[in-house]
Amino acid sequence: PPVIRREDYKAPDWLVPEIALDFRLDAERTEVTARLYVERNGDHDRPLVLDGEELDLLFASVDGDPVEVAPEGGRLILPLDGAKHVVETRVAIAPARNSQLMGLYASGGLLCTQCEAEGFRRITFFPDRPDILSRYAVRMEADKTLYPVLLSNGDPVANGEAGEGRHWAQWNDPFPKPCYLFALVAGDLACNADSFTTMSGREVRLGIWVREEDLPATRHAMAALRNSMAWDERVYGREYDLDVFNIVAVSDFNFGAMENKGLNIFNSRYILVDPDTATDLDYDAVEGVVAHEYFHNWSGNRVTCRDWFQLSLKEGLTVYRDQCFSADMGSEPVKRIEDVRLLRAGQFPEDAGPLAHPVRPESYMEISNFYTATVYNKGAEVIRMMAQILGPEGFRKGTDLYFARHDGQAVTCEDFVRAMEEGGGVDLTQFRLWYSQAGTPRVAATMIHDPEHRRVTLTLSQSIPDTPGQANKKPMVLPLRTALFDRQSGQRREERLLMLTGAEQSFTFEGMTSAPVLSINRGFSAPVIVDAPRTQDELAFLSAHDDDPFARYEAMQQLMVNALTEGVASGELETGAVIEAIRTSATDPSLDDAFVAEAIRLPSEAYIGDQMLVVDPQGIHDAREAMQQAIGAALEPLWRDLHQRTARPAFSLEAGDKGARKLRNVVLSYIAASGAEDAAALAFAQFDGAHNMTERQGALGVLANGMSAERERALAAFYDRYHGNALVLDKWFQTQALACHPDTVEIVRALGRHSDFTLTNPNRVRSLYGAFAANQWAFHSGGAGEGYRLLADLILALDPINPQTAARMVPPLGRWRRFDVERGGRMRAELERIVAQPKLSRDVMEQASKSLA
């Protein structure tokens, strides 16, 4: 497949300030008539080129005169003489046969669209690129019984009867927008209607559209939407701009959700929650994603991307905004811990592997492959660092300038950084390397105490690993919040924001009578890996005394990782320090339950693997299980006590109750690990008696790890109760795929043949195979590479149906360099088998071939 390069960007030859679309909707055959008002952009004689994919061209005209033209490689090329023309095309498409879920497709009786990044070309011929902004007028006509509700972007302006049981509606969007933000929904939907009064007193009608029976499960999403609207006004001064804001939930969706102007379309898992079917994590995800898509109205829609290399312009900024929003709505420290865990689980491995790319990539074959943890989550960290460097006022001045200067434009990451520099009055020349250099920087710290001068010298050096296509990188700007603690008094010295900008730099701290303990990268102020030699004793001290909650959590994690990796290497596990540190945190009355739950949990097997030169899945699993067992047994009375104390008579979403549920599940897993005879019965009792999904699924997960009779009883009961609810059934698949059970490969293989499994629903595919590939021990356990073959078979079966989702399953196989020769060879062999397929999609081809390189 051809490679698209950032450096090749050229401004469009033709602009399309206006477009009128007319849909005759039908699941089997929809006709789309598009009238494009085109204008020559600059002095040139190049033709108008319109992108198209799987379109059946019925008719074309220029300025009312029919033209004979046939698509070349999907594209329509029209030579035009004048400065302005009206180009009309009519095409037929087949939504019911669109299994890629890009363009216009059918999902559970609905017709809906997904256009980002390049789906609009599957609806009509159009220059499908984000720097062409058009005003849309959309007319839809459809069967009244099947599709009583017709929605599109902007405002509804007219509707009426069309005869023969059909009706029509017209929607106009006054804001020029790129075509990736176009949306349409037709279906039999019910509405949770509400309203919001903006800061200038305008009334906005809010609607969340779902199947009638799902209406009660939309309340949390509606509250999140209203909170997001108020938050964006308060924190960024951003007001909503249309009279209507609609959200639709659909079951078959490649992404989490889509920020189409005035008509967000969501994967139903990020809208529908109630206590019986959704966990607290699901509730939080709904709140975060609703906010994310709403915030895009400014960071993405009003100011959009010039080209897809700038994707992080809108995604990094919007993730940062939704992270801050969720922190404000709940617990800031716990949110930070969760976000960093996500970054380390998803982005660090990506940045260390064959698919590493800068936050602003230089090239791609298929842009769908670049909706990555790097573009989103590392992109958000980059914004967070700028916010830190500029300070709250400077950052707000920077974003104010950015929105004012670029409203209505399609711009670049460079434009954003320049606004930050000018608004905040800082020089970000060197900081820009965060956009161009891939790889996670490593910082090495050494500290020398000079008792005579009562001085501490902290020397920091940085290195950035080579990544595909990039070697010998330049030192970057690393803002490291740092503090020193006096070991005797437990007192903290003043915290400093150290700016590490050179390859090596020293910082001095005066007035230090004794050697202090180093607390560095507090709050995870820079997305880097820090190697700071600290004894287990010092880490235990920090885990009990550091006043930065993240640093406290981090010290505990490091303490655990050290014990576990040394245990894997030596075969002798040292558990004492970890047990004592856990006891201290779990009994500290100043800590809330949610934080304790985070602090006392062992790092995942995958994260432990990431700390090792060669991942040893079996050794890691054994060591972690042994540690879990030792902690469970040594503190069993404490766990029993906590398990009782965290029980609640009724469900509430109050922070204290959410924290109690989170802790209760961690505690249950320690009781189970202790080997206590009644552990399975206790887990089953929690499962059976739970009045909410958090505790029910937590208990099911604990049982799924074991071999008890209760395991089978709980899985069967769960299935019986929930098999009619697709989102909950996903949990049933996922729990089994994530289990530490010796037969997981076989279980997953069987579940892939289960009558409730389907390749056409991305949530179902991810809940089984995505979870399995994330289960390090199970995925890598089969001596003959059974897990790898299972995943490769899935990729090959899914590719012809949904290449975008298939390609997302490739990266776990691409980690072959991190494993021993035998495992690595088997992983490679599966990638080679994939690449050898003759009719591979561009999506899978790019990921698999890059993973082999």
The residues assigned a catalytic role are 293
Query: Minimal distance in Å, beta carbon 318 to Zn ion?
Result: 5
616 binds, among Zn ion, ligand DPP, none (CB under 5 to 8 A by kind): none
321 binds, among ligand DPP, Zn ion, none (CB under 5 to 8 A by kind): none
Q: Give the whole-angstrom CA distance, residue 608 versus residue 579.
A: 18
Residues in the interface with Zn ion (CB under 5 A) total 2
Q: Residue 249 or residue 594: which is nearer to Zn ion going by CB?
A: 249
Query: Minimal distance in Å, beta carbon 284 to ligand DPP?
Result: 16
Q: Residue 110 or residue 317: which is nearer to Zn ion going by CB?
A: 317
DSSP at 173:
E
Helices (H), 372-438: 373, 379-406, 413-424, 433-436
Residue 364's closest CA among 1, 44, 47, 726?
1
Q: Which stretch binds Zn ion (CB under 5 A): 184-192, 237-245, 310-318, 766-774?
A: 310-318
Strands 478-485 and 410-411: unpaired
Q: Which stretch binds Zn ion (CB under 5 A): 168-176, 315-323, 332-340, 576-584?
A: 315-323
843 lies in the binding site for ligand DPP (CB under 6 A): no
- ω into residue 806 within 30 of 0, thus cis? no
610 binds, among Zn ion, ligand DPP, none (CB under 5 to 8 A by kind): none
Strands 410-411 and 442-450: unpaired
Contact positions with ligand DPP (CB under 6 A) in 277-316: 292-293, 315
What are the Cα distances from residue 183, in Å, to 139, 252, 368? 12, 15, 18
Contact at 8 Å (CB) between 503 and 475?
yes
Q: Give the whole-angstrom CA distance, residue 329 versus residue 611.
A: 33
Query: Minimal distance in Å, beta carbon 505 to ligand DPP?
Result: 37
Which residue has 């950084």 as its token pair? 417
Contact at 8 Å (CB) between 184 and 140?
yes
Q: Residue 319 or residue 530: which is nearer to Zn ion going by CB?
A: 319
Residue 493's closest CA among 522, 535, 529, 450?
522
116 binds, among Zn ion, ligand DPP, none (CB under 5 to 8 A by kind): ligand DPP
Q: Return the sign of the alpha-carbon dihedral for residues 309, 313, 319, 322.
A: negative
Query: Minimal distance in Å, beta carbon 800 to ligand DPP?
Result: 22
Q: Residue 309 or residue 485: which is nearer to ligand DPP going by CB?
A: 309
Contact positions with ligand DPP (CB under 6 A) in 374-413: none
Contact positions with ligand DPP (CB under 6 A) in 242-271: 255, 257-259
Q: Give the whole-angstrom CA distance, residue 718 versus residue 699.
A: 11
Helices (H), 240-351: 280-295, 311-329, 332-342, 348-351
Strands 263-267 and 244-250: parallel
Query: Minimal distance in Å, beta carbon 114 to ligand DPP?
Result: 8
Q: Which amino acid is at 612?
A: M
Q: Pattern of binders to ligand DPP over 202-241, x per CB under 6 A?
A: ----------------------------------------
Q: Residue 312 or residue 482: which is nearer to ligand DPP going by CB?
A: 312
Q: If residue 32 lies in a helix (H) or strand (E), which one and from where to where?
A: strand 30-40
DSSP at 346:
I
Contact positions with ligand DPP (CB under 6 A) in 583-622: none
Coil/strand/helix, residue 846? helix
Q: Pattern of binders to ligand DPP over 110-129, x per CB under 6 A?
A: ------x-------------
Cα-to-chain-centroid distance, residue 710? 34
With CB atoms as reference, the residue minimizing the distance to ligand DPP is 255
Q: Which stretch binds Zn ion (CB under 5 A): 189-197, 314-322, 611-619, 735-743?
A: 314-322
Query: Minimal distance in Å, beta carbon 281 to ligand DPP?
Result: 19
Length of the chain: 853
Query: Minimal distance in Å, beta carbon 119 to ligand DPP?
Result: 10
Given phi > 0 = left and psi -120 to 50 = alpha, else beta, which region is 487? alpha
26 lies in the binding site for ligand DPP (CB under 6 A): no
Q: Residue 253 or residue 485: which is nearer to Zn ion going by CB?
A: 253
846 binds, among ligand DPP, Zn ion, none (CB under 5 to 8 A by kind): none
Query: Minimal distance in Å, beta carbon 370 to Zn ion?
Result: 13
339 lies in the binding site for ligand DPP (CB under 6 A): no
The residues that touch Zn ion, with contacts defined as CB under 5 A, are: 315, 318
The residues that touch ligand DPP, with contacts defined as CB under 6 A, are: 116, 255, 257-259, 292-293, 315
